[in-house]
Structure 1
Amino acid sequence: MFELTVTPRFYETDAFGHVNNTVVTGWFETARSPLFELFNTEGNKPAELPLILARIEVDFVGQIYYGSDVLLRTGIERLGNSSFVVLHQAWQNGKLVARGKAVQVHFEHDKQASSPIPVAFRQVLEQHLGALPEEKSL
């Protein structure tokens, strides 16, 4: 599991005074950065990483407000042959406020096709397999 704390910025709020729903998908993408780094063994440019995003989903289970940090948790739910499902949670003031999933696909850009996740990457991803805690404190 990976954790990252973000501080909501004023411009990320909407007319209702809470963080706009479009912001959360960006936070979750930022929270996947450690996973991107796992696949960047040769100092590749981002466009050369052997990953593409196939799907994202977000459930908003509480309102997120400006003025309090948000803890993001990231883990791996499932590993397939050429894809894996990333789990996300967002916590503010001890409450789960959003959860989501992202499907990442191991991808060969030159062939424009998915390919099996290499064993070395699979072994690292397996270390992060499992459900995320349903409580803020571990």
Structure 2
Amino acid sequence: MFELTVTPRFYETDAFGHVNNTVVTGWFETGRAPLFQLFGGGSDPSALPLILARVEVDFVGQIYYGSDVLLRTGIEKIGNSSFVVAQQAWQNGKLVARGKAVQVYFEHDKQASAPIPDEFRQVLSEHQGELAETL
């Protein structure tokens, strides 16, 4: 599991005074950055052999400006050519959002998905497991 703390910025708030829902998908992408590093996408993002196939977010509480948000990221499932990333956002000890993203191992030169190589599969499995619903 990976953890990252983000600080909500004032411009991310909406007319209701809380963080706009569209912001959370961006935070979750930032929370997946350590996974991108595992696949060698740190210095050259165009070399990253992954594409995003699906993203979903459940908003379970309001997120407010003025308090940091803890992002938790883990691997839920590893398939043949894709894997499911589970994510959570916590503010002041409360779960405020949960989501999933499906990442596909992708050969850009062939414009096609491919089986996840064993070395990446092994590293992903080290981060596999359910995210607890409590801190």
The TM tier, using the shorter chain, reads: over 0.9
Measured in 1, the distance between the counterparts of 2:63 and 2:19 equals 5
Correspondence for 1:7: 7
Which contiguous aligned blocks of 4+ residues in structure 1 show a shift greater than 6 angstroms?
Answer: none
Q: Tell me, which stretches of 5 or more residues in structure 1 are unaligned?
A: none
Q: CA deviation at 1:47?
A: 1.7
How many pairs were matched up?
135
Per-residue CA deviations over 1:21-60 (Å, capped at 9, x if unaligned) read 000000000000000000007x652122100000000000
> Superposition pairs for residues 63-102 of structure 1, below 5 Å?
63-102=62-101
Q: Secondary structure at the match of 1:105?
A: strand
> Superposition pairs for residues 25-44 of structure 1, below 5 Å?
25-40=25-40
TM-score by length of 2: 0.98
> Superposition pairs for residues 42-53 of structure 1, below 5 Å?
45-53=44-52
Q: Secondary structure at the match of 2:36?
A: helix
Per-residue CA deviations over 1:73-114 (Å, capped at 9, x if unaligned) read 000000000000000000000100000000000000000000
Q: Secondary structure at the match of 1:134?
A: coil
| RMSD between aligned residues | 1.0
TM-score by length of 1: 0.95
Correspondence for 1:106: 105
Q: CA deviation at 1:134?
A: 1.1
